[in-house]
Amino acid sequence: MAKWVCTVCNYVYDEEVGDPDGGIAPGTRFEDIPDDWVCPLCGVGKDQFEQQ
């Protein structure tokens, strides 16, 4: 599983952990997150993330 980093605030989305507070279950691939999901720390969209 991959990790994705927000280029604005450096939040790390870990596919193994997901974003339970944001409704994203553990094991959810970044590509499978809904397009309207935003960074839980700074609020930018998925297009501001890079694979680590």
Q: Was 25 annotated as part of a binding site?
A: no
43 appears as a binding residue in the annotation: no
Q: How many residues does the chain have?
A: 52
Ligand-binding site membership of 48 (annotated): no
Is 33 labeled as ligand-binding? no
Residues near 16 by beta carbon (within 8 Å), at least 6 away in sequence: 1, 26, 27
**Binding-site entries for Fe cation:** 6, 9, 39, 42
**Binding-site entries:** 6, 9, 39, 42
